[in-house]
C-alpha cells in the first residue's frame, strides 16, 4: 500500500515537474531578462514564487527519492518529449517576439497566467501533431510479441526471458535502484529491439524506450497511449464544440435578431435542455438509439447547422452578385452535401466503389486490396460511434452557446452600423452573419475555449460510462475507465489520464480568462 502511495506521489510529482518547467519557462519569456521583477508583479509576489520554487524542488526531491525510478520516468518522459518542448519553445518565443503585431493573440503574452495556459494548450496540440515522430509505441500496439515475451497478459508482469527481473511488476520496477533500473532498461530495450520498430530515429538501431508508465491490461504502453490520446481528444473536443457552437450561433442569431415567437420557443427549449440532467440525456441518446438511428437523426439535424450557416452567409454576401453566388454554390454544395450525408447516414454507400478501386489498384495483393477497400469505404466518414459524441456535446453545449449569442445579438443589433446595413437594404442573413457575428467574437472565443475544456471532460465522462468512443480507443476518458479496476494497485493507470484532462481544461481556462481580461483592457 505504501509503495502505491509512493508511486502516486511520484506520479503527481513528475507531472508537477513537467508543468512547473512549463510555468518557469512562461515566466522567463514573459519577463524577458527581468525574471525577478516578473516574480514581484501580480499574480506572483516574492512569497508565492518562493513557495513555487521550493514546492517544485520538493516535488522533484519526492519524485527522485520516494521512488527513484519515478524520477527517472520523469526524465525519460522529458527525453521522449523533447522535440515537443523544442517546437513549443520555438512557437512561444516567436510569438512573444512578434506579440505587438499579433493582435489579441499577442496580448496573451502580456500575462504570465495566459502564457502558462497557452503553453499547456500548445503542448498538447504539438504533442498530438508530432506523436508519430516520437519514439512511442502505437496506441493499440501490445508489447507482447517479441523474443522471449516481455509482458505476460493481464498481470503486467515483466518477464525478461529467464532473467533475474522475472516477475517484476511495475511497482517493483519503480522501486528498483537506479543502477538496477539502468540494467533493466538495457535488457528491456534489447528485448524490444528485436521487433520491427516503428520509429528509427532514436539511436542508430532504432531503439525504443521502456514503458515509462507501465502498460495496461492489454499490454499497451500507457505513456504512448496518453500522447496519442491527445490525437483523439483534441480534434474531437474542438470539432464537437465547434459544431455545437454553430448550432448555438445560428439559433442565437435568429432568436436574438428576429425575436418574437421564434425566440420564445427556442429560448424555452434551450432552458428545458439545460435543466435536464445531462447524464440521463446521454443514456437516452446512446442507449435508446442503440441501433444508432436516434443519434443519426439527431446528427442529421445538428450537422445541418454548419451547412445552413455557410449557405446563409453566402446568400447574404452574394445576393447582389448572383453570378458569383451560383459559381460558388456549384463547387461548394456537392462537396458539402457529400460530407453531410456521409457523416450522418453513410450515404452514398462507397463499399461498391471500394471493391472496385481495390480491384484496380490492389495489384492482386489481398492484404493491400482489403486495406484499399476499407479506406475507400470509410472515406470522409467518421466512425458511427463518434456521432454519439457529437450529439451529446451538441446537447450539452449548444444551449449555453445559444444563450450567449442571443444575449450578445440583442445588444449589438441596436448599434448604428446594423441600422446602416438595414438602410442600405441588406438582407437579414448578411446582417446576422457579417454585421453582428464578427462583432461578438470576443466573448464567443472565450466561451469556446472554456467549452472545449468541458467537452474534453465530457468525452472523459462518456468514455468512463462506455457510452462514447470504442473501448480500445486511446482517449483519456476510456483510459480512466480502463484503469479504475487497478486503482488500488496501479493508481497511475487512471490518475495520469485524469491529470491529462485536468491539465488541458486548466490550460484552456487560463487561456480563456486571459483572453477575456486582455480583450477588456486597452
| Residues contacting 204, CB < 8 A, separation 6+ | none
Q: Give residue 39's region: left, alpha or beta (phi > 0; psi -120 to 50).
A: alpha
Question: Out of 41, 368, 441, 484, which residue is the one contacting other proteins (CB under 8 A)?
Answer: 441
All three cell numbers of 300, joined, read: 442529421
Write down the least CB distance from residue 522 to other proteins, Å.
8
Closest CA relative to residue 382, chosen from 337, 345, 333, 332: 345
Least distance (Å) between residue 470 CB and other proteins = 42
Among 438, 471, 472, 484, binds other proteins (CB under 8 A): 438
CA dist 432 and 369 (Å) reads: 49
* 90 forms part of the interface with other proteins (CB under 8 A): no
320 is a site residue for other proteins (CB under 8 A):
yes
- Site membership for other proteins, residue 519 (CB under 8 A): no
Comparison of 233 and 432: residue with beta carbon closer to other proteins: 432
Which of 40, 186, 368, 415 is the binder for other proteins (CB under 8 A)? Answer: 415
Binding of residue 424 to other proteins (CB under 8 A): yes
Question: Which residues 6+ apart lie within 8 Å of 394 measured at CB?
Answer: 240, 243, 244, 247, 298, 302
Say whether residue 186 binds other proteins (CB under 8 A): no
The least CB distance from residue 385 to other proteins, in Å, is 39
**Between residues 187 and 249, which has the closer beta carbon with respect to other proteins?**
249
Answer for the pair 394, 412: CB distance below 8 angstroms, yes or no. Answer: no
Instruction: State the Cα–Cα distance between residues 467 and 19, nearest whole angstrom.
Output: 31
> Least separation, in Å, of the C-beta of 436 and other proteins?
9
311, burial (CB in 10 Å: exposed 0-12, middle 13-18, buried 19+): middle
Residue position matching grid coordinates 467518421:
382
Member of 110, 183, 207, 517 binding other proteins (CB under 8 A): 110
**Rounded to whole angstroms, how far apart are CA atoms 187 and 181?**
10
In this chain, which of 98, 419, 470, 485 binds other proteins, going by CB under 8 A? Answer: 419
Distance CA 419, CA 506 (A): 41
Instruction: Report the half-sphere exposure of 276 (CA within 13 A, side-chain side).
Output: 19
By CB under 8 A, is residue 423 in contact with other proteins?
yes
Build a one-symbol-per-residue string for 214-253: x at contacts with other proteins by CB under 8 A, - elsewhere: ----------------------------------------
Report d(CA 389, CA 473) in Å as an integer.
Answer: 13
Contact segment (CB under 8 A) with other proteins among 25-33, 87-95, 291-299, 438-446 equals 438-446
Q: Using CB under 8 A, list all residues that contact other proteins.
A: 110, 261, 264, 320-321, 415-417, 419-427, 434-435, 438-439, 441, 521
Amino acid at each position: 500500500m505504501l509503495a502505491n502511495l509512493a508511486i502516486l506521489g511520484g506520479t503527481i510529482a513528475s507531472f508537477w515537474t513537467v508543468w512547473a518547467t512549463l510555468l518557469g519557462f512562461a515566466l522567463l519569456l514573459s519577463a524577458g531578462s527581468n525574471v525577478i521583477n516578473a516574480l514581484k508583479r501580480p499574480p506572483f509576489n516574492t512569497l508565492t514564487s518562493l513557495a513555487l520554487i521550493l514546492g517544485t524542488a520538493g516535488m522533484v526531491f519526492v519524485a527522485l527519492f520516494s521512488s527513484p525510478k519515478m524520477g527517472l520516468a520523469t526524465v525519460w518522459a522529458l527525453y521522449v518529449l523533447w522535440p515537443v518542448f523544442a517546437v513549443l519553445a520555438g512557437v512561444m518565443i516567436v510569438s512573444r517576439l512578434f506579440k505587438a503585431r499579433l493582435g489579441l493573440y499577442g496580448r496573451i503574452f502580456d500575462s504570465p497566467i495566459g502564457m502558462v495556459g497557452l503553453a499547456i494548450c500548445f503542448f498538447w496540440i504539438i504533442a498530438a501533431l508530432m506523436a508519430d515522430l516520437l519514439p512511442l509505441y502505437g496506441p493499440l500496439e501490445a508489447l507482447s510479441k517479441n523474443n522471449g515475451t516481455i509482458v505476460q497478459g493481464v498481470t503486467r508482469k515483466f518477464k525478461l526471458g529467464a532473467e533475474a527481473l522475472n516477475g517484476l511488476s511495475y511497482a517493483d520496477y519503480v522501486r528498483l535502484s537506479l543502477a538496477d533500473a539502468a540494467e533493466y532498461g538495457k535488457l528491456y530495450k534489447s528485448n524490444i529491439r528485436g521487433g520491427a520498430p516503428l520509429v528509427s530515429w532514436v539511436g542508430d538501431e532504432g531503439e525504443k524506450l521502456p514503458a515509462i508508465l507501465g502498460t495496461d491490461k492489454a499490454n499497451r504502453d500507457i505513456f504512448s497511449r496518453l500522447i496519442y490520446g491527445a490525437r483523439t481528444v483534441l480534434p474531437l473536443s474542438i470539432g464537437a464544440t465547434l459544431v455545437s457552437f454553430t448550432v448555438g450561433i445560428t439559433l442565437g442569431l435568429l432568436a436574438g435578431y428576429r425575436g418574437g415567437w421564434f425566440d420564445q420557443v427556442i429560448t424555452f427549449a434551450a432552458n428545458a435542455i439545460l435543466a435536464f440532467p445531462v447524464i440521463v440525456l446521454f443514456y437516452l441518446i446512446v442507449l435508446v438509439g442503440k441501433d444508432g438511428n436516434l443519434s443519426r437523426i439527431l446528427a442529421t439535424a445538428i450537422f445541418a447547422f454548419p451547412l445552413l450557416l455557410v449557405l446563409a452567409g453566402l446568400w447574404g454576401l452574394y445576393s447582389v452578385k448572383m453570378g458569383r453566388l451560383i459559381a460558388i454554390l456549384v463547387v461548394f454544395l456537392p462537396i458539402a452535401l457529400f460530407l453531410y450525408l456521409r457523416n450522418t447516414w453513410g450515404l452514398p454507400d462507397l463499399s461498391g466503389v471500394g471493391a472496385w478501386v481495390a480491384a484496380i489498384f490492389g495489384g492482386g495483393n489481398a492484404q493491400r486490396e482489403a486495406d484499399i477497400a476499407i479506406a475507400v469505404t470509410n472515406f470522409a466518414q467518421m466512425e458511427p460511434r463518434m456521432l454519439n459524441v457529437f450529439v451529446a456535446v451538441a446537447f450539452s453545449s449548444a444551449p449555453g452557446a445559444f444563450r450567449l449569442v442571443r444575449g450578445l445579438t440583442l445588444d449589438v443589433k441596436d448599434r448604428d452600423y446594423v441600422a446602416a446595413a438595414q438602410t442600405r437594404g441588406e438582407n437579414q442573413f448578411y446582417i446576422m452573419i457579417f454585421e453582428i457575428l464578427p462583432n461578438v467574437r470576443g466573448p464567443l472565443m472565450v466561451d469556446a475555449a472554456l467549452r472545449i475544456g468541458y467537452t474534453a471532460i465530457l468525452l472523459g465522462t462518456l468514455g468512463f460510462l462506455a457510452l462514447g468512443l470504442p473501448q480500445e480507443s486511446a482517449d483519456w476518458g476510456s483510459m480512466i475507465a480502463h484503469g479504475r479496476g487497478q486503482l488500488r494497485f496501479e493508481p497511475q493507470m487512471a490518475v495520469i489520464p485524469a491529470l491529462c484532462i485536468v491539465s488541458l481544461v486548466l490550460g484552456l481556462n487560463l487561456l480563456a480568462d486571459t483572453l477575456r481580461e486582455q480583450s477588456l483592457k486597452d
